[in-house]
Amino acid sequence: MTIRSVLLAVALAVAVVGCGSAATASSVASPTTPPTLTPTPPTSPTPTVAATPAPPTPAPTASAAAACGVVPETGLLPSDRITNVEVLPAPRHDVVRFTFGEGSLDPAGPATGKLEAAVPPFTGGASGLPIDVHGDHAVQVVFTGMSLQNDVGQPVYDGPREFEVNDPSRGRLHVVLFEEFEGQMGWYVGYDGPGCVTLSREGDSIVLAIDS
């Protein structure tokens, strides 16, 4: 090989090496584009809602728990003639006793009694005049189909038309006749306290009891 050939080969080698170095330098010199970061909005804290406590349920009062409603009652009477009325206060309950005698010879029909709550204003049945009934509560007892006179025209019942008991430890008990007309007798019964009122038959009597 001639000296010229050797020099030509060396020049080619140097050129190749130079191109490779330039490519590598170009590759290294080209910076990598950094990734773009999208900012994340700050998370808003979820507000905490405190539970609202339910309002307390008021406890029932003793008077409300002990109150006793009046249940209407109806039944047959021992006869169609009342002969006596008594008010009998007792330690545990008050009693109004209506006593019946022998029935009339020609009754108008079955004699019946009815108990129900009385609603003010209280008035006389036939007259319509006001009646003052004493007590926190009142009921009425009405007897129908009654014979108000005996066979000779005399009143069958000739006793008091009003009774009142006022005991400081028990309250008032007031019984007053409000109707006595055309075969009907009606009585208001006023009383204090929340006692239960019942109407029952005992022999020849109808008994109204107010339990304390």
| CATH code of the domain covering residue 198 | 2.60.40
- Report yes or no on 19 lying in a domain: no
For 163-194, give one letter per residue: b (16+ CB within 10 A) or e.
Answer: beeeeeebbbbbbbbbbbeebebbbbbbbbbb
- pLDDT recorded at residue 125: 87
162 Cβ contact list (under 8 Å, min separation 6): 174, 175, 176, 177
Residue with tokens 């006692």: 195
Inside any domain, residue 187: yes
Per residue in 56-91, pLDDT (tens digit) is 333 332 332 335 889 999 999 999 999 999 999 777
The whole-chain average pLDDT of the chain stands at: 75
Domain annotation covers residue 70: yes
Range of the domain at 176: 64-211
Please tell me the predicted confidence (pLDDT) of residue 67. Answer: 54
Residue 140 lies in a domain: yes
Would 32 be classed as within a structural domain?
A: no
Alpha-carbon span 126 to 46, nearest angstrom: 77
Tell me the C-alpha distance between 186 and 157, whole Å.
Answer: 13
Give the span between the Cα atoms of 210 and 90, in whole angstroms: 10
- Evaluate whether residue 164 is within a structural domain: yes
pLDDT of residue 27 exceeding 70, the answer is no
Domain presence at residue 41 = no
Lowest mean pLDDT among 4-18, 57-71, 140-154: 4-18
Are 83 and 99 a contacting pair, CB within 8 Å? yes
Q: Using CA atoms, how far apart are residues 88 and 77, in angstroms rounded to an integer?
A: 20
Count the domains in the chain.
1
Which residue reads 């309950």 in tokens? 93
pLDDT at 159: 96
Whether 49 maps to a domain, the answer reads no
